[in-house]
Amino acid sequence: LTTRLPATPNMAVRSGLPRMIKQPKCCDRITACLVNAAFFGALGSSYLYGYNLSVVNAPALYIKKFYNQTWTERYGEPIGADMVTMLWSITVSIFAIGGLLGALCVTLLTKLIGRKGTLLLNNGFAVIAALLLALGEKARSFEMLIIGRFIMGVDSGIALSALPMYLGEISPRHMRGSIGQFNSILICLGVFTGQVLGLPELLGQESRWNFLFAFLALPALLQLCVLPFLPESPRFLLMERRDEAGAEKAFRAFLGKKDVSKELEEVHAESRAQNTLHMASVTELMLNPALRWQVITVMVTMACYQLCGLNAIWYYTNGILRDSGFAENVIPYIVLSTGGIETLAAVVSGLVIERIGRRPLLIFGFSAMAFFFGLLTVFLNFQDQYSWMPYLSFTCILAVIASFCSGPGGIPFVLTGELFEQSYRPAAFMIAGIVNWVANFAVGLLFPFMQESLQTYAFLVFLVVCVLGAVYLYFILPETKNKTFMDISQSFAKINKVPLGDKEIENELAIKICTRYDGYHNSVAWCPHPQQCTKV
């Protein structure tokens, strides 16, 4: 480090320190191993969650008829209308209860068997649920459908925590947002697949609805065939299993380069900077003053993710299309446009997130949703007076969906993995999962009452939620794009009102190596202002 290079023009030595030989440039290309891990990891996880959000809509009438037939066969009399409604409500809502239980298991599972191991184990729940849901009609048991939905909820609760954790830890920091958006993209693709397969020409028929649930096993089996041959999270291997050789091999596979010493040292530096190496519990995380606002931020973004009104939008779409004069048999095909817009917006968000950043996309998404909710309220109130007004209402619905998927639909999961260091990350995902599923259950339980009492003005409640979320993120959330996990932790030090740590850690975090081009050659020098350097 102290050997001077031969003199060349414009070789001004910065801060009195000599130039140092440039290290190999970080590999910017995305590797096949990284893409396969992201795609197949999401295929057996978030894709199934999205599919389950939409798959129950098409066969709803057939399932209620099956409940009635089964009840009559058992008890010799038809089931009452209230009992059918109750059984159907339990079938739908128990999915969220299973999701909450799955979120509570994530910390223990990821600690015992790792991130990849948890995803692989989770496929067992998907296969069991698929069998129960598909064979319930043959067995003349509606209990099998309810239990299958519950187990599928457990699968989704585990998946929505374990997958973002895995994706965040295997991705280089300049791709962390884009790779993390695979979670959102596959959720949207799952919703769209459920809409397509539920068409009457495909599986949306009385004689085929059980095949809609049998399909759940296919993505899980595909993941079981591919994921075992891909590496575990290198951060998990190094920091929790002390397997440096395994971590180095995993880094090489994911990054596509031989020299991964820089990445290994970054993980070692994070490990040295942590006060404890054991996995923190939820209680320890909640009571840690240095992480107070990170926890609040995750809870706010996850609550807004569920309470922003997207589930209510799905409820209104069919009614608005009927009011627009569309025939009942045409509506399912028009509804496909909502799933297509959702998927397209998620893909675009994944492509631009590393350029625009997490914070602007989140604030824009919630702000745009609030704006279009306001317009939708106006249009719905004038819908009976003008024949063309329902078309504007449907346009607003598409705009709300696109705004949601541009940022709020996927970034909250990315943020949860970025705002916490290794020892606190599993507990953070458990908290995020609890908030996510409790809010999901609350929306499903309370929205029908809101809609009955407020009618079209119910969307103003979601407008307020979106505005509050955007305001909070504007004042509290720092940008996390292309930052190390330690850098992000330091960004919250001021608002948490805690010291940065001992002098050795402060120096380790403050002194950076930056690359500059002086017109003649690339070189590396000590950077006294690393936060202002665009090439850190």
501-532 pLDDT tens trace = 544 444 444 434 444 434 433 433 334 444 44
Contacts of 109 (CB under 8 A, 6+ apart): 117, 118, 121, 158, 162
Q: Give the other-Cβ count within 10 Å of 208's Cβ.
A: 15
Per-residue pLDDT at 275: 52
- The span from the CA of 105 to the CA of 122, in Å, is 11
- Please give the pLDDT value at position 273: 66
Query: Residue 26: its pLDDT value, please?
Result: 43
DSSP symbols for 330-388: THHHHHHHHHHHHHHHHHHHHHHHHHH-HHHHHHHHHHHHHHHHHHHHHHHHTTTT-TT
What is the reported pTM?
0.82
376, pLDDT greater than 60 = yes
Cα(323)–Cα(52) distance, rounded to whole angstroms? 27
Q: In this model, does residue 76 exceed pLDDT 80?
A: yes
Return the pLDDT at 58. 81
- Report d(CA 91, CA 60) in Å as an integer: 10
Residue 330 has pLDDT above 90, yes or no: no
- Per-domain residue ranges for the chain? 29-230, 282-499
pLDDT band at 324 (very low <50, low <70, confident <90, very high): low
**Looking at residue 167, what is its pLDDT?**
94
Q: 7 falls in which pLDDT band (50, 70, 90)?
A: very low
282-499 under CATH 1.20.1250.20, yes or no: yes
Q: Does residue 297 carry a pLDDT above 90?
A: yes
How much is the average pLDDT of 11-27? Answer: 39
Confidence of residue 1 (pLDDT cuts 50, 70, 90): very low
Mean pLDDT of 4-30: 43
Same fold yes or no, 29-230 and 282-499? yes
For the chain, helix (H) and strand (E) counts, in that order, are 24, 2
The helix (run of H) or strand (run of E) holding residue 464 is helix 458-476
Region 347-370: what's the mean pLDDT?
Answer: 93
Lowest mean pLDDT, pick from 26-40, 169-183, 212-226, 491-505: 491-505
Please check the confidence at residue 536 and state whether its pLDDT lies above 80. no
Q: Looking at domain 29-230, what is its CATH homologous superfamily?
A: MFS general substrate transporter like domains (1.20.1250.20)
Rounded to an integer, the average pLDDT of 197-204 is: 88
Q: Which residue has the tokens 């939008």?
A: 313
| Highest mean pLDDT of the ranges 82-86, 154-158, 239-243 | 154-158
Integer CA distances (angstroms), 516 to 10, 200, 265, 510, 511, in order: 12, 61, 22, 18, 16
Please tell me which residue, 389 or 147, carries the higher pLDDT value: 147
Measured CA distances, 1 to 23, 260, 511 (Å): 12, 20, 15
Average pLDDT over every residue of 131-159? 93
Rounded to the nearest integer, the mean pLDDT of the chain is 82
Query: Does residue 328 surpass a pLDDT of 80?
Result: no
- Band (274; pLDDT cuts 50, 70, 90): low
Q: How far apart are CA 410 and CA 305, in angstroms?
A: 9
Q: Which residue has the higher pLDDT, 536 or 135?
A: 135
Q: Which of 410-419, 485-494, 515-524 has the lowest mean pLDDT?
A: 515-524
- pLDDT of 222 reads 96
* Strands, E assignment, 35-131: none
